[in-house]
Structure 1
């Protein structure tokens, strides 16, 4: 049915094109360059997550029924429009910058809503069809490792390009080119990977109402599933805000204490002109560690003895890392380097954890509803981020970045009420 080597290669290429985003490590710095406050940035990013929240679960159902391959291809089209829009910021002077950026982020959010859950569901469907379901953590870990290696390469390349060109627009246009390649790649996926619901609709009718009810019954009737789900939402949402939205300001503030701007004035050379390169290098190291974490995820799962033990340990270490990060923010002159090391450690933990979590979730998902359930988990994370980002931005404006780390640590404390207690779940226990 499938050529295994060719399909695995396509999964790796998908991870490559999805993460070849040269502008991503500099997005918050770009907003700060446009003289937006942390509160305004929080509102804009909250809008992005709100759009994702509104569309993500319906898009998961859409992907399960219209076709996961088609939905994932369409997401790259929206990425392309979004990146091109960012590159054109300021060219239409009659449109206020904040509204223009909001539109670009909304397009990106629409692409995210279509993508989230769909491609993981495609990979899990492929493993089922080739009788390799037991290798879920291994495949997810390896593809995530490719994603992080690509992000690392894009980050350091973007830093060099930004230091050379002093133009953020170039990074966005290069990212748009990678998104076009991703769109074309998805069109080469076989139609057999559109999903079980899509295939069933080709031969018989399926009750959409019944299809919608099954994931909810399956999830919330199982106490262990609820713990797994809630812990994941708390951990992933806090780490996303810390790593994606506040690492760049942390590094920018720290470098400024040593007289190193991100984009130096014309004529400045030497160490003082390398701010963008330092940012790119930091992202390179973090994403490289993320790739390492994803690659060793299957081995750590075996070493921990069960997925529940592995996930609980990672959560505990992550909490203390955020707590120590708050200590580093008290005095950035001595805390910058330890803080950056802690952020690298959090990236490692996040990527070590994610493949194990998806594998655990997969044992309890209906096969026909994978994209829907994965999208629902992602929606819950997006809701949390959308609600908290403006609050975190306001706290950063009023009290500095220290307030961000403290708030994140307090929220992570709640997760200890939802420790995962299930023993390793076998596939025979899966409702799928």
Structure 2
């Protein structure tokens, strides 16, 4: 199953448009504000459907939820390639949000259910980090394939169309998942594989599937996330970090586009290139290298956390690293050094891949197996809600800075520096906040 989990991550990240999403939308004559608004629409729609789809997955079947997710992705990618009008692009983003809502939290819950059924829970950080590393390798390969598509076709719409193909293969992969990836309270499917492992049947048999049961599962997951003080604080910290990252990460693309103007990429390769071709090559190379580094970071996240007395101290160290990275971005903005700005963005992306497996592992310490997908959907909902607010406001601030005659052209990215430094300083040095009172796994085990 480790192979199938890794294959899922690899195929999921064959989103050939992702390294060029902001450039593709700018090519459709959208401003940073309208792009931010599109992202906000996607996040709000995901937010509305997030927790109910998590409860759906825990009740009716996680594999069915993942298949529905990938069908929605296929439709969204085709529409994003076809349309240029804002209203139609917003509709495509709504379809994309359906895919995100069914997927987020669900697959992580599937991994942890399989680990529990196979008595491998003590390896969760290492296994989740390993499978996540393959998703980053998928991003690296996808960036290179995307560059090839753009260099051949000279059109951004093809990177959207071709992204639908790996999603179809992903559906085939889910047909190989055994029944033990489901919630213990999910009745066995008559259509999908049962597999080599399974949960013990609940006392009194499986409860009949009903709307009331879905609502009950939904309520239990929400209540657990809110009532448990330590889990609530941990979710707040994670949501803030991930929302900050999601709202800022795509600005790396126009930054690399600006850097490509000054870099003789074609001369280095011995060929003549247009500005667009230089941008495509530079973006692809940077994203491929970034993805390989992120893959290594994910795979070693378990070893990274073991260097510290507990996981809370490990996350504090990541806040410090991100603080330094945004300081580098700030220096680049002040001096107009686009490569310094890009370096800071790349560093934050790498550290996010140390962060994610560690935080998911910590969250799993507090969420029971029956409501795991729902709790992770609550986490993802909070992240999407905050991103929906951050993205358009950040885009509006960047647009406003771009219209001001202040400093050099890189100053337009100043709002990103303010946001990044502010969030990192708050969580790094607010030492008495609840997010820093989360105890280590060893302490939890001692309590038990």
TM normalised by structure 1 equals 0.89
Q: How many residues align?
A: 410
What is the aligned counterpart of 2:322 among 318, 325, 329?
Answer: 318
Query: For each residue in 1:228-279, what CA deviation from the matched residue of structure 2 results, as whole angstroms up to 9, or x when unmatched?
Result: 2111111111112222x21112212333456989xxxxxx933743220111
Rounded to whole Å, the distance in 1 between the matches of 2:273 and 2:417 is 33
Unaligned runs of 5+ in 1: 1-6, 91-96, 262-267
Determine the structure 2 residue equivalent to 1:246: 251
Deviation at 1:174, TM superposition (A): 1.5
1:4 alignment counterpart: none
**In structure 1, what is the Cα distance between the partners aligned to 2:306 and 2:425?**
27
Q: What's the secondary structure of 1:21's corresponding residue?
A: coil
Q: Which residue of 1 aligns with 2:177?
A: 189
Q: 1:430 to 1:84 in 2, by over 3 A?
A: farther
Find the aligned partners of 1:258 and 1:12 in 2 and give their Cα distance: 36
Q: Is the 8 A contact 2:331 2:340 kept in 1?
A: no
Query: Kindly tell me: are residues 208 and 74 of structure 1, through their superposed partners in 2, closer, same or farther at Cα, counting changes over 3 Å?
Result: closer
Deviation at 1:398, TM superposition (A): 0.8
**Aligned residue in 2 for 1:147:** 135
Corresponding residue number in structure 2 for 1:380: 382
Please give the alpha-carbon distance, in whole angstroms, between the structure 1 residues aligned to 2:59 and 2:130.
28
Question: Given the alignment, which residue of 254, 258, 272 partners 1:269?
Answer: 272
Q: What's the secondary structure of 1:270's corresponding residue?
A: coil
2:283 counterpart residue number: 279
Give the corresponding residue for 1:424.
Answer: 440
Query: How many Å separate the matches in 1 of 2:168 and 2:38?
Result: 25
CA deviations 1:18-53 (Å, max 9, x no partner) are 011111111110011111111111111110001001
Please, which moves more after superposition, 410-419 or 232-241?
410-419
Secondary structure of 1:304's counterpart equals: coil
Alignment check: 8 A CA contact 2:243 2:390 kept:
no
Structure 1 residues 395 and 430: alpha-carbon distance in aligned structure 2, compared to 1, 3 A threshold = farther
- When residues 191 and 294 of structure 1 are mapped into structure 2, their CA distance, relative to the original with a 3 A threshold, is same
Do the aligned residues in 1 keep the contact of 2:58 with 2:371 (CA within 8 Å)?
Answer: yes
Structure 2 unaligned spans of 5+: 188-201, 402-411
- Alpha carbons of structure 1 residues 429 and 77: separation in structure 2 relative to 1, 3 Å: farther
Q: CA separation in 1, counterparts of 2:180 and 2:297? A: 31
Paired residue for 1:370?
Answer: 372
In structure 2, which of residues 327, 336, 339 is the aligned counterpart of residue 337 of structure 1? 339
SS in structure 1 at match of 2:185: helix
Deviations 1:166-195 (A, max 9, x none): 011221121100111111211221233222
TM-score by length of 2: 0.86
